[in-house]
Amino acid sequence: MEILVAGAGQMGSGIAQVAAQHGHTVLLNDRDNDLIERGIATIRKNLDRGVEKSRITQGERDEALGAIRGTPKIENLQVDIAIEAASEDFETKRALFALLDAQTPPHAILASNTSSISITSLGAATKRPERVIGMHFMNPVPVMPLVEIVRGLETSQETFDAVHSLAGQLEKTPVEARDFPGFVSNRVLIPMINEAIYALYEGVASAEAIDTVMKLGMNHPMGPLELADFIGLDTCLAIMNVLHDGFGDSKYRPCPLLRQYVAAGRLGRKSGRGFYTY
């Protein structure tokens, strides 16, 4: 398949890498060539590590890299599917979906990697809502086996079947969810993280103690505060706000400490400081 990945950040580059390693031709798009180059550099690094660890051969590495081309423009693209992995902002995604609708062939599926934005609303920004769907990969994409497939109100069975089969071909396990705030993954995960932040805020235990309880007591690979830093505190706050607005239920109120850290620019790993210093 010809796949467009719109957004060359952490998620987009991971999706492009996995698609290229499974025999697809990938067009990687972002606002400018520097951002695309950065995405391709991450992919190269991951593939080189794969060769070092004997998970893939040098030939497979070269073939995957050769299957990825960068494009700063979304214009008359002959692709079968576009997977959008832009920043988690409704206006950005809405505009991108309208553009993808105009610049891809009518048969193309438009998928979003959004972690919480309504697929139904993104569908409404296009003239093909039956071909709009959520394809939510987890971070780090090359490692995590799940893809949450989200049906918008108008998503057709044909679109669902095509994306379900693509996820399987990418060696991911597809799980179906309906289009309600946070889907399944973030409806369960982010309130847990928010509760851990409340425990810290109320002085129940230190950050290290909270994370140790969840790692050693519940076998989580990362504690919730370490995971929040990994996801990005701004993203965690944005998702809590989507849950709070979408359900109108006070149980989803973001912890004041989370708001304060985001206001201070402590966004986690990407800014060098969150609950921990990097």
Which positions are annotated as active-site residues? 115, 136, 148, 186
Q: Does 182 bind ligand CAA (CB under 6 A)?
A: no
Beta strands per DSSP E along the chain: 2-6, 25-29, 68-71, 81-84, 109-112, 132-137, 146-151, 173-178
**What is the Cβ-side half-sphere exposure of residue 195, based on CA atoms within 13 angstroms?**
11
Report CA Rg, the chain.
19
List 13, 118, 185, 194, residue binding ligand CAA (CB under 6 A): 185
CA distance 72 to 275: 35
Q: Does 46 bind ligand CAA (CB under 6 A)?
A: yes
**Distance in Å, CB of 153 to ligand CAA, minimum:** 21
Q: How many residues bind ligand CAA (CB under 6 A)?
A: 18
CB 144, CB 115: distance < 8 Å = no
Site string for ligand CAA, 206-245 (x = CB under 6 A): ---------------xx----x---x---x----------
List 92, 139, 156, 241, residue binding ligand CAA (CB under 6 A): 139
List 23, 105, 140, 265, residue binding ligand CAA (CB under 6 A): 140
CB 139, CB 162: distance < 8 Å = no
Judged by the rule CB under 6 A, the positions of this chain that interact with ligand CAA are 46, 49, 53, 115, 138-140, 142-144, 185-186, 189, 221-222, 227, 231, 235
